[in-house]
Structures are given as C-alpha cells and as structure tokens.
C-alpha cells in the first residue's frame, strides 16, 4: 500500500523537513524514515547527524501522526509545539553519513485541549534513541502565536 507523501502531513518545509518518507501508520502510531545525508540540517562537517537532534525527528514524526489524524477528519494539517521530553536516552553520539534512521512514535495520550504524550524510538544499525515526548496542538495556533507577540 502506498503511503502519503510526508511533506503533505507535516507543517515543515524543506530544508527543515528532516523525514524522507512515511513507512507505516495505524491507530496510535507512525513509522518514518530518514537517511543521513549532507543536505540535512544539523549535520556536522564530517556528515554526521547528532543524536541530540533526534528530538526534532521525533517531533516531526509526531507532526506526521497529527497530519494523518487531521486529514482523516477532513481538516488541514496544523502546527503543534514540542513542550519537552523525558528520559531521552541515546546509545550513540551521532549517526554517520548514509545511516538509515527509523523513527517510531506511539501515542500515549491526547486530551481534548491538545496536550499529548508520545513514546518515541529511533532505530539504526549504529544505535537507538528512546524518549517520551510531550506536545501541544492548540485548536487555533494563530491565537496562541499572537498572544506571544504582544
């Protein structure tokens, strides 16, 4: 079965759209892929993608989950906000060029106000990263952004 284009599911644009493709999705989960290349943001001079930037991969996979949910309800993709992470643990400091990263997110909860929690994992031949990620997707992000500007 063909998967939707990842760029249609997330509010990010190139070059900040890090994920290359959606692999799988279903009730409560999404799996996506990224290959480490020199064209990706955060990549260092040696072509390595730092493990600390894995939080952005997780956030974008959560955004893809939200995009799928929105599309299923006939709504446009909305922006959300990364609130924080707990128990971020990486088995490596960076991923070398060419490494394939598989990002999996599982929804733990999402309340009626848009606060959510996800269990996230990045798997690769080099090492894995696990974390719990908290997010917020307000009904109308423009109102929230305007409040911050005032």
150 pLDDT exceeds 70? no
pLDDT one-digit tens code per residue, 61-95:
999 999 999 898 898 888 889 999 989 999 999 99
The string of DSSP letters for 83-121 reads EEEEEEEES-SEE-TT-EEEEEEEEEEE-TTSEEEEEEE
Contact 89, 130 (CB under 8 A): yes
Q: Report residue 15 CA to chain centroid gap.
A: 15
pLDDT one-digit tens code per residue, 93-123:
999 999 999 999 999 999 998 899 999 999 9
114, 125, 105, 115: which is closest to 64 by C-alpha?
105
Q: Please say whether the structural domain 6-149 has been given the CATH code 1.10.10.10.
A: no
Rg (CA), the chain: 15
Confidence band, pLDDT 50/70/90 cuts, at residue 127: very high
Instruction: Report the length, in residues, of the chain.
Output: 150
Per cent of the chain over pLDDT 70 is 93
Contact 24, 6 (CB under 8 A): no
Contact 34, 23 (CB under 8 A): no
The string of DSSP letters for 56-73 reads HHHHHHHHHHHHHHHHHT
What CA–CA distance (Å, rounded) separates 136 from 150? 20
Q: Report residue 90 CA to chain centroid gap.
A: 16
Q: What is the pLDDT of residue 3?
A: 81
Q: Which helix (H) or strand (E) holds 148?
A: helix 141-149
């Amino acid at each position: 079965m063909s998967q939707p284009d990842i760029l249609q599911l997330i509010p990010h644009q190139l070059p900040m759209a890090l994920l290359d493709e959606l692999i799988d999705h279903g009730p409560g989960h999404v799996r996506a892929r990224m290959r480490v290349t020199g064209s990706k943001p955060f990549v260092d001079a040696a072509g390595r993608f730092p493990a600390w930037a894995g939080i952005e991969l997780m956030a974008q996979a959560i955004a893809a989950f939200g995009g799928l949910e929105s599309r299923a309800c006939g709504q446009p993709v909305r922006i959300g906000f990364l609130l924080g992470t707990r128990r971020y643990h990486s088995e490596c400091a960076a991923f070398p060029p060419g490494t394939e990263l598989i990002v999996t997110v599982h929804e733990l909860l999402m309340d009626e106000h848009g606060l959510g929690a996800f269990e996230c994992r990045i798997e690769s031949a080099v090492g894995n990263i696990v974390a719990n990620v908290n997010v917020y997707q307000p009904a109308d992000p423009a109102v929230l952004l305007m409040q911050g500007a005032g």
